[in-house]
Structure 1
Amino acid sequence: MKKTPLLNIALSRAIASLGHGDILMIVDAGMPVPAGVELIDLALTRGVPDFVSVLDTVLSEMQVESHVLAEEMLRVQPPALSVIEGLSLDGELGEQRLMSHEALKELSRTARAIVRTGECQPYSNIALVAGVVF
């Protein structure tokens, strides 16, 4: 059995397949997933699993170089934003880029995979850009 916290086979495989610069998105229950992009749907019910739990678990295995948020997230300030800000200060998320929510949806077309959570707080979405460990 794996020693790291991530037990989901599809998500673990997706992270292991990332190369430098590839994008993995973690999104709320309402974010559309473009046709042709792999969806790893973890949503069970409203709020389960929550965005922060999924983000924390993904970060236990993924090296992140930078991340992208929608500008609307800063305006609406869902609960996940304070966690993201803390992780940014700790250097876990690398450089931050902001774009409109519409532009983030366009960016999602280039993601290697999108992880849907049960989160129902608006704009609880992040695009993680893979880094390297060397």
Structure 2
Amino acid sequence: MRRKGLLHAELNRLVAAMGHTDTLVIADVGLPVPSGVPCVDLAVVAGLPRFNDVFDAIYRELAVERVTVAREIHARNKAMVELVGHLRTDGIVVDELAHDDFKRACASARAVIRTGETSPYANVILHAGVTF
């Protein structure tokens, strides 16, 4: 048993298997999962677990060099806009796509992690970096 950090066995395997530029999606409860893309469904009830809690846990474990979000966050999700600002301050490149293009980009992800988040456009594609 791990003492701290990410405790979910399947999420640990996913993070450990990521290579440079592989992508992992952290999604709200409503984002459609593309056919053929594995889904780690963490949603218990509406709102649980929250997007931010899952994002923070994964972000602490995965070397991230860039993220992709839907540009619709600016009109509909202040918390996601704030997250993007923090990531940019940390030196992370943030790409913004139209939501339909974002959904298409999810088709090449290693997996989608589905949260119970119900706020609009609470989705992010994490692009793995390297630690050297």
Superposition TM-score tier, normalisation by shorter sequence: over 0.9
User: Which residue is 2:118 aligned to?
Assistant: 120
**Contact kept in structure 2, 1:78 and 1:123, CA below 8 Å:** no
Q: Does 1:95 pair with 2:93?
A: yes
- Match runs of 1:44-59 below 5 Å: 44-59=44-59
Deviation per CA, 1:5-34, whole angstroms, max 9, x where unpaired?
Answer: 211111111111100000000000000001
Q: Does residue 15 of the first structure (1) align with residue 15 of the second (2)? A: yes
- The answer to whether residue 67 in structure 2 is matched with residue 67 in structure 1 is yes
Q: Percent identity?
A: 39
Instruction: Between 20-29 and 74-83, report the one with greater CA deviation.
Output: 74-83
> Structure 1: any 5+ residue segments left out of the alignment?
none
Query: Which range is displaced more, 2-11 or 24-33?
Result: 2-11
Cα contact 1:78–1:121 (8 A) shared by 2: no
Do the aligned partners of 1:4 and 1:60 also contact (CA within 8 Å) in 2?
no
- Aligned-partner residue type, residue 9 of structure 1: A
Contact 1:52 1:80 in 2 (8 A): no
Once superposed, which parts of structure 1, at least 4 consecutive aligned residues long, lie more than 2 Å away? 77-81
SS of the residue 1:60 aligns to: helix
1:76 corresponds in structure 2 to: 76
Q: Deviations over 1:71-112 (max 9, x none)?
A: 101221242431332233123xx1011110000100000000
Aligned residues: 132
Could you tell me how far apart the structure 1 residues matched to 2:80 and 2:99 are? 16
**Equivalent residue of 1:118, what SS?**
coil
Supply the RMSD in Å over aligned alpha carbons: 1.2
TM-score for both structures, normalised by structure 2: 0.94
Q: Aligned with 1:67: secondary structure?
A: strand
Describe the shift of the 1:73–1:129 C-alpha distance in structure 2 as closer, same or farther (beyond 3 A).
same
Answering whether residue 122 of structure 2 is matched by residue 105 of structure 1, we say no
Q: Secondary structure at the match of 2:72?
A: helix
TM-score using structure 1 length: 0.93
Post-superposition shift, 1:66?
Answer: 0.3
Specify the SS of the correspondent of 1:129. Answer: strand
